[in-house]
Structure 1
Amino acid sequence: MIPRPASESTATAQAVWLVAEREIGSKLRSKAFMISTGILLLIALAGVLIGGFASASPTPDAVAATAQTASAVEALPNVEVTEVADRDAAEQLVLTDEVIAAVVPGDGGVVILAKENAPTSLVMGLSQTPAVEILRPAGTDPFVRYLVAIGFGIVFLMAASTFGGTIAQSVVEEKQTRVVELLISAIPARALLAGKVIGNTVLAMAQIVLLVAIAVIGLIVTGQNALLAGIGAPVLWFAVFFLLGFVLLAALYAAAAAMVSRQEDIGSTTMPLMMLVMAPYFLVIFFNDNDLVLTIMSYVPFSAPVAMPVRLFVGEAQWWEPLLSLVILVVTCLGAILVGAKIYENSLLRMGARVKLADALRG
């Protein structure tokens, strides 16, 4: 292969950057885009603040107690006592999450039975320091786990679908108005594709950074420092996975849109991609507590940006797993870019009826 002259490579790089600047500038000048971004940030801030204040609001702790220990537990503040017959009944209520803990008679005093973690207020509130027996190994709070999973899923879904749709509409609009013929006469098709992908990736990552900043501010304001410390590393991994996953999807969205010549036909070619974007969101909602499903999702390129950060947050992933998943995602991303570029080049100047996938691949 004969290497390109330096001047030609420089010209291509300049063309890519000009297209990227055009994509970024058009979005920043769009009132609809700026308003929707502002609303998204406000919703994110409101969600973090409401969640933080709600978790800080005191609610009575449901505690089981036998006849011998009920009087001691009832004397404690912010406690709702459920009286049981014996220790076995108390254990059953704890394990089924009907009560947060149970206080039963023990050798020379009382014993607190807890499913995962003994409530500090209950331990400190009793007149004597009781023995603590953990009935099940500690884990992440299910509610917090669910919120974190939903948060990663929503951010990935909204960013990928919004910017992916924007890329598709831009490609078809250029074909409809014949502007693409002028562009291709001046710059290579791959430079045009690269500029579109880079420009929208910059905007998407900027939104991610703003959302992270909003979340950090909200967690600090509501005093959720422990959650902030635990979610820091998963958020960084999410940003890395999101960057590669978005580039993969952006290239495929542009290629799919190049196969049609009318805005009305975009849905027919981009629907499979939309399903791939939506799948991680719904899967993480229904299976966020299923270790097997999350593990499989963390190695599938389209769902890894959501599943792997969740597994890192709850401590279920080994140190090498995100690295292996990242390698798989990088390889898939490179393959998608090559395939997408080929489809884009072979379909961009073909007007009229929808271009068949086989024809687009053959050229």
Structure 2
Amino acid sequence: MNAKTTAHRSPSFTHSVSLVAEREITTRLRSKSFLITTGILLLLVLGGVIAGGIMSKSVSTTPVAVVSSLSSELTNIGGLEITEVENRAEAEALVSEGTVDAAVVPSAEGSTIPVTVIAESEAPSSLMQGLSVSPELVLLDPSDTSFLLSYLAAFGFGIIFFASGMTFGPMIAQSVVEEKQTRIVEILMSAVPVSALMAGKVIGNSLLAFAQIIAIAVLAIVGLSVTGQAELLALLGAPLLWFVGFFIIGFILLAALFAAVGAMVSRQEDLGTTMTPVTMLIMLPYFAIIFLHDNPVALAVMSYVPFSAPVGMPMRLFLGTAVWWEPLISLALLAITAALAILLGARIYNNSLLKVGSRVSWAQAIKG
């Protein structure tokens, strides 16, 4: 008999990684807690989109001031509560007082555009779209950029990254500890390399997280389109795509660290203490973005810090305060940090996986 046909062949590294990743994916898909968490997250997104649609249509009329000579320009626009004034100064005063949302006045002498719209921080879209000519827009307080809208965007980006990290990260760590407790890891290591075991865990859980974030993005886009929130969709379009890219790399970074800290303990009871540093890397940026979303300097700094960049940079893109090259540099910094985290996590994982008993210290895990 040919010796080649009887010899046992170990699976290749790539095949080993795919086997472990497949095992992680099937295990998670059978978990009721994972399915329930995903369902709740999708329902929250859908509820937010529907609530936004209802709120955007809840105002029946928009109060607008117009100089008498231009009142005919507004006759065919529905949903406006018109107040006629004598001159531009009177119209501007009503906008400043908050009596009206916008004012339509004649443009300055010499302007090629006959009509000017004056508003406090943003002009009503129904008014801008309904005018027969594209008007010049004057904002009295352009720095006041919809505080509520920016807060909701910061909260939305932040809660998605926070929820995904706090759902999948501890799952990865708990899976590693469970395999150490039951000694299954020794069986797995006899079949696949240790590095393939960690890579499979990171890739399997990352694929599930990616599928979850893409489902959320698709649901948000479809929901905004169906509920007639095209203006908000246009604002969120590019930042949402960038958020997906940042999320993918940022999650891989966190997944590698959670796998590493899981290998440092042998009991589930010790896992909480070991996971705390990594958990703080998720929580602190989340709360910082929420509380400092209206601080341009703090937001600019956080958009380059790897652990807050997945939320900070999409927020700046949404607010229009980042130029085209900034997200590219931020993404490159995040990718470099993720690569370093993978190398560090692999070292800790390899040095700690077979050590049982007391918790392995960070110094021991790194030095070996």
TM-score by length of 1: 0.83
Distance 1:299 1:354 in 2: 34
Aligned equivalent of 1:272? 277
Equivalent residue for 1:347? Answer: 352
For residues 14 and 156 of structure 1, the distance between their equivalents in structure 2, rounded to whole angstroms, comes to 30
Partner residue of 1:184 out of 189, 196, 201: 189
**Residue 197 of structure 2 is aligned to residue 197 of structure 1:** no
Distance 1:98 1:356 in 2: 64
Q: What is the Cα deviation at residue 90 of structure 1?
A: 8.7
Task: Sort the Cα spacing of 1:131 and 1:331 in 2 relative to 1 into closer, same or farther, 3 A.
Answer: closer
- Looking at structure 1, the residues matched to 265 and 98 of structure 2 have their Cα atoms a distance apart, in angstroms, of 54
Aligned pair partner of 1:222 in 210, 224, 227: 227
Distance 1:10 1:308, change over 3 A: farther
2:314 corresponds in structure 1 to 309
Q: Of 160, 164, 168, which residue of structure 1 is paired with 2:165?
A: 160
Q: What CA distance in whole angstroms lies between the structure 1 residues aligned with 2:154 and 2:10?
A: 43
Following the alignment from structure 2 to structure 1, what is the Cα–Cα distance between the partners of residues 136 and 12?
74
Identity %: 56
1:36 Cα shift?
Answer: 2.4
Q: Could you say which residue in structure 1 is the equivalent of 2:328?
A: 323
Instruction: Count how many residue pairs are aligned between Structure 1 and Structure 2.
Output: 354
Aligned to 1:244: 249
One-letter amino acid matched to 1:265:
D
Task: Report the equivalent of 1:47.
Answer: 48
User: Separation in 2 of the partners of 1:237 and 1:125?
Assistant: 32
- What is the letter of the counterpart of residue 50 of structure 1? A
Alignment partner of 1:362 is 2:363: no
User: Residues 93-242 of structure 1 correspond to what in structure 2 (within 5 A)?
Assistant: 100-101=101-102, 113-119=118-124, 133-137=138-142, 140-242=145-247
- 1:253 aligns to 2:258 (yes or no): yes
Instruction: Report the Cα distance in structure 2 between the residues aligned to 1:21 and 1:243, rounded to whole angstroms.
Output: 19
Distance in 2 separating the partners of 1:253 and 1:36: 19
Q: Distance between the aligned counterparts of 1:49 and 1:155, measured in 2?
A: 17
Cα deviations across residues 249-269 of structure 1 (Å, max 9, x unaligned)?
Answer: 000011111111110111101
Report the CA distance shift for 1:89/1:327 in structure 2 as closer, same or farther (over 3 A): same
What is the aligned counterpart of 1:335 among 337, 340, 349? Answer: 340
Q: Which whole-Å deviations, capped at 9, do the CAs of 1:169-209 have from their partners, x for residues lacking one?
A: 00110111111111122221111000000000000001011
- Deviation of 1:29 (Å): 1.5
Secondary structure of the residue aligned to 2:12 is: helix
2:19 alignment counterpart? 18
Contact map agreement 2:45 2:220 (CA 8 A) in 1: yes
Structure 1 residue 341, shift from structure 2 partner: 0.6
Instruction: Return the alpha-carbon distance in structure 2 between the equivalents of residues 344 and 119 of structure 1.
Output: 56
Cα deviation for residue 149 of structure 1 reads 1.6
Secondary structure in structure 2 of the residue aligned to 1:355? coil
Alpha-carbon distance between aligned partners in 1 of 2:244 and 2:107, rounded to the nearest angstrom: 50
Report the Cα distance in structure 1 between the residues aligned to 2:159 and 2:215, rounded to whole angstroms: 15
Residue matched to 2:5: none
Deviation digits for residues 218-244 of structure 1, max 9, x if unmatched? 101111112222322211111111111
Q: Secondary structure at the match of 2:354?
A: coil
Q: Is the 8 A contact 1:117 1:138 kept in 2?
A: no
When normalised by structure 2's length, the TM-score is: 0.82
How far apart, in 2, do the equivalents of 1:30 and 1:214 lie?
Answer: 23
Partner of 1:3: none
State the shift of 1:137 in Å.
3.6
SS in 2 for 1:316: coil
Give 1:92 shift. 8.1
